[in-house]
Amino acid sequence: MEDVDLHEFHLPRRRRDDREVSFNTTSVQTEPIQKKDAQTEADDHVDVGCQTVQQPAEKPDNVRIDQKVVDMIIEALNENEKINFDRLLPFHLRENVHLEHVASYKIDEINFTEAESDVIAMRYGTSRRSLLLLGSRHHETFCSHQPRLLISTSSTTTTVPLAVCPFSVAFRSASQFAVGDSSGRLTLFSGQNVVQEEKIHNGCVTSIDFSTHGVLTSSDDGELKLSQFTATELVTIKTVRLTVGDLPRNIRKASSSSKNVAIVSVQRSASEAVVATETGGLWIARLPLLTLRSVALPAQPIHSVLFQSPYIAVCAQGQPVVILTAESFVEQLPISATISTRCGSHFVFSDSKRIVIWSCASAKICYDANLPCTAMTSFPPDTLVYLDDSHNLTTLLITYY
List, for residues 355-396, the tens digit of each pLDDT value.
Answer: 999 999 989 999 999 999 999 999 988 999 999 988 999 999
Between 72 and 29, the higher pLDDT residue:
72
In this model, does residue 45 exceed pLDDT 80?
Answer: no
User: What pLDDT was estimated at residue 401?
Assistant: 73
In this model, does residue 265 exceed pLDDT 90?
Answer: yes
User: What pLDDT was estimated at residue 372?
Assistant: 93
Q: What percent of the chain has pLDDT over 70?
A: 79
User: What pLDDT was estimated at residue 85?
Assistant: 54
Q: Are strands 291-294 and 282-286 parallel, antiparallel or unpaired?
A: antiparallel
Cis peptide bond upstream of 310, omega within 30? yes
In this model, does residue 197 exceed pLDDT 70?
Answer: yes
Between 178 and 65, the higher pLDDT residue:
178
The contacts of residue 66 (CB under 8 Å, 6+ apart) are none
Give the model's confidence band at 5: pLDDT under 50 very low, under 70 low, under 90 confident, else very high. Answer: low
Between 221 and 139, the higher pLDDT residue:
221
Mean pLDDT of 211-233: 93
Across all residues in the chain, what is the average pLDDT?
85
Between 245 and 96, the higher pLDDT residue:
245
> What number does CATH give the domain 98-400?
2.130.10.10
In this model, does residue 115 exceed pLDDT 50?
Answer: no
In this model, does residue 3 exceed pLDDT 50?
Answer: yes
Query: What are the structural domain ranges in the chain?
Result: 98-400
Mean pLDDT of 45-72: 70
CA distances from 351 to 121, 221, 338, 345 (A): 15, 28, 5, 20
User: What pLDDT was estimated at residue 145?
Assistant: 76
**Cβ atoms within 10 Å, residue 291:** 13
Q: Which of 163, 161, 170 is nearest to 122 (CA)?
A: 170
In this model, does residue 82 exceed pLDDT 60?
Answer: no
Between 361 and 84, the higher pLDDT residue:
361
Mean pLDDT of 207-232: 94
Burial-class residue 289 by CB neighbours within 10 Å (0-12, 13-18, 19+).
Answer: middle
What pLDDT, in 10s, does the model give residues 282-323? 999 999 999 999 999 999 999 999 999 999 999 999 999 999
